[in-house]
Every structure is written in C-alpha cells, then in structure tokens.
Amino acid sequence: MIHLSQAAVSEIGRLQSKQQPSILFRLTIKPGGCSDWFYDLSFDEATKFGDQVFDLSGILVVIDTDSLNYINGLTLDYSEDLMGGGFRFHNPLAIATCGCGNSFSIAH
C-alpha cells in the first residue's frame, strides 16, 4: 500500500483538472537514474493487465504489480521550495537515494 500526503492529493487533483477529472494517476518504477531505479509519474486513461488501483483520498492511483514490489509503504508528498514545487518520495524499502530524490536503490 502507498500513502499520499494532503499536499500531494491537492497537487495531483490540480494536475488532473487540467487533463480530465476521471483520468488515472499512474506511479511506475523504471530501471535507470542515478541509483538503479526511478519513479515515473503520469496520467493514464485505462488500466492494463496486472495493474492494481487504489482510491487514495479520491485519487485513483494505478500501480503495476512489479512496481508495487519496490514501493510498498511509500509516502508521496508534494512541497514547494525556492526552486519550485515537486513531488517527494519517502520509500521505506530504499537503502539509498540520489540527491535528486527521484532515484533509489533497494537491497537485492
């Protein structure tokens, strides 16, 4: 299971309203980045085979089964700083993260 902070819910909702309100928010883990894996956030119109859908504070979050293995327990936050706004990932399974905060490693 993953968790969204209230700030993340608000920002995803704002971004969705620019797309279409019924669009799905997809969180995927892909190989690459500075530390083996990176988070990929996107919007999608449909689910695919193997996807799991979570209703988190009214946001439909879609995660494929493979990605879920790398982010179980993840908290997704959103915050603004002097460089602008961005999503922040707090992954209890990560043993190392990159300075950018979007790339991570897990124990093998």
With cut-offs at 50, 70 and 90, classify the pLDDT of residue 21. low
* Full residue range of the structural domain in which residue 79 is found: 3-106
Can you give the pLDDT at residue 36?
Answer: 83
**Domain of residue 69, CATH code:** 2.60.300.12
User: Average pLDDT, stretch 6-24?
Assistant: 90
β-partners of residue 77 are 88
Position 26 scores a pLDDT of 96
| Domain count across the chain | 1
pLDDT digits (tens, 9 = 90+) for 40-73: 999 999 999 999 999 999 999 999 999 998 898 9
DSSP string, 14-82: HHHHHH-TTPEEEEEEEE-STTSEEEEEEEESS--TTEEEEEETTEEEEEEHHHHHHHTT-EEEEEEET
